[in-house]
Structure 1
Amino acid sequence: MSESDDHVVLWPGDPGTLPLDVRRALVALLRGPYISFRRDPLVWSALLAHEAVVRRHLGDLLLDLVIDADAEVAFSRNLEPGPDFDQAVPSVLRKAPLSFIDSALLLHLRHLLLQGAAQQERMVVGRDEIEAHMQAYATSSGHDQAQFGKRLTASIKRMREWSILLPTDTDDRWEVSSILALILTPEVIEGIEVEYERLRRGGTGDLPSADGMTEEDAESDDADSDGPDPDEPDTDETGLDETESAT
């Protein structure tokens, strides 16, 4: 590896200019859903040490960098141009649509996270607790009990793939990630509540998406009934490649 001013060459013919740790941080942010000190201290340290460089390179891709130094989490999202910019800006990251069950579960997890923050402790929740709470939404979901159970299982799986539910040493118990406080903003919560009211009145409408959720294969609540089998063995995978230290 050779280095000249700010140009770092990792191998002969390397077209890049950044140190390897900075490139890893950029890749982690692009792969998503987020990076954190807890999941990868080295990537997190590189991000903080080179925040301006990372932010500039993301900006070239029309992406914004969101960092919560207190929670030690960060993610990238589509850049919002200034109000005086009158040209169309493409969206780089596609937001995953939130189904009715996804939204209800996210609101519940956000509430649990607030409880944990008030007690200054991490919040851990079990599958049985989630299922008991979510039964209140079974009728409003428009599905029979079997369909609702299957879709709730799929929603829990998505929360794990998005790393909102983090694995613990106990099967079917997860820690609620602090990233949810950044993803589920007050504006998104307000939008969800408005749509809930419309649904209660018999209306229709799409539930809002949330920043940071960019899972390409996310299933909507209108998915075919042959979706994930609720009896399928559960795993602790998050949908991210841990060996690459992506997050």
Structure 2
Amino acid sequence: MTDVVETDATPAVDDATSSPVAPDVPQVPTDGFVAARPMEDDVEALFAGDTGVLPFPARRALALVLQRRYVSAAAHPAEWKALLAHQNVLASRCHDLFVELVVDRDYEIAYKRQVREDGLSVPVLLKDEPYKRVETLLMLLARNRFRQEQGAGERTALLDAEELVDYASGFLAQDETNLAARRREIDNAVATLVREHVLTEVATGRYRVEPVVEILLPVERLRELTAWLRDGGAATDAGPDAGADTEAVDEDEETSA
């Protein structure tokens, strides 16, 4: 009769090389990476019924981009920082609306434009809003001043109200008699560029030219308008293609931020 030797069913553990694993204890990844968690796990509801998944700074940046002509680091540093931190997801949100988010890190400006694709029929949320003739003239002056100051190593380009008036007045017809009406037209054009954040009034009658003027009037556009002025600048429009191409949400009036 053969003797049966009973042994312990639990395998022996070498304390020097391994240790038993306690059940139900999550294991730490050994590859140096932590599993990503969904963004919505970290976002608290901001209002009743809120189903948004973006944190507040990212939502504010997105809303500001949709509300304004553009967002700049100088005017909205907190929103600019949030926009850069969440650029990919904000761009995706814009794409859902057939809108493109453009971020220019050199000039620290972000703006939107309508997606237009041949063969793709989409609802248009943004509209082309050409500048008027006098507005375009003043933008040309602002653009040239901005480039001059940049070339001289200056960080800020400034224009006085009288410079703007004198420049635009130089393009009046020789037989113009209603000078008061033309002055009102120029004043209204200046007010438009201030409202569009192309100019910022830093003191009474003194304006800072904002970098967005480079976006609104790129080099090729500048050449077209310069040629148009050289040919006399027809008063019936603001130049080739009716002025600087701009886009704005139908209700683009800014509220207090």
TM-based fold match above 0.5? yes
Amino acid at match of 1:133: Y
Task: Tell me which of 120, 133, 143 is aligned to 1:100.
Answer: 133
By how many angstroms is 1:200 displaced? 4.8
- Percent identity of equivalent pairs: 22
Task: Tell me which of 67, 82, 102 is aligned to 1:66.
Answer: 102
RMSD: 2.8
CA distance in 2 between partners of 1:208 and 1:162 (Å): 15
2:72–2:110: 8 Å Cα contact kept in structure 1?
A: yes
1:165–1:176: 8 Å Cα contact kept in structure 2?
A: yes
Is the aligned partner of 1:240 residue 2:248? no
Offset from partner CA, 1:11-30 (integer Å, 9 cap, x none): 45212121111110111000
Amino acid at match of 2:245: A
Please give the TM-score of this superposition, normalised by the length of structure 2: 0.73
Q: Which has the higher contact order (CA 8 A, sep 6+)?
A: 1
CA distance in 2 between partners of 1:158 and 1:181 (Å): 17
Is the aligned partner of 1:35 residue 2:68? no
Label 1:191 to 1:61 Cα distance change in 2 as closer, same or farther (>3 A): farther
Label 1:140 to 1:156 Cα distance change in 2 as closer, same or farther (>3 A): farther
Offset from partner CA, 1:157-190 (integer Å, 9 cap, x none): 000000111121x211010000110121234334
* Residue segments in structure 1 that go unaligned for 5+ positions in a row: 219-238
Amino acid at match of 1:138: L
By how many angstroms is 1:198 displaced? 6.8
Is the aligned partner of 1:79 residue 2:115? yes
2:113–2:126: 8 Å Cα contact kept in structure 1?
A: yes
Offset from partner CA, 1:115-166 (integer Å, 9 cap, x none): 1111222101110111122221121897732221111011000000001111
SS in 1 for 2:110: strand
SS in 1 for 2:122: coil
Query: Once structures 1 and 2 are overlaid, which stretch shifts more, 25-34 or 96-105?
Result: 96-105
Please give the TM-score of this superposition, normalised by the length of structure 1: 0.76
CA distance in 2 between partners of 1:40 and 1:141 (Å): 46
Label 1:188 to 1:70 Cα distance change in 2 as closer, same or farther (>3 A): same
Task: Tell me which of 191, 200, 210 is aligned to 1:157.
Answer: 191
Query: Once structures 1 and 2 are overlaid, which stretch shifts more, 172-181 or 128-137?
Result: 128-137
Label 1:28 to 1:194 Cα distance change in 2 as closer, same or farther (>3 A): same
Label 1:149 to 1:217 Cα distance change in 2 as closer, same or farther (>3 A): farther
SS in 2 for 1:131: helix
Kindly tell me the number of residue pairs found equivalent between the two proteins.
215
1:167–1:174: 8 Å Cα contact kept in structure 2?
A: yes
Show the counterpart of 2:219.
186
* Residue segments in structure 2 that go unaligned for 5+ positions in a row: 1-36
Show the counterpart of 1:148.
182
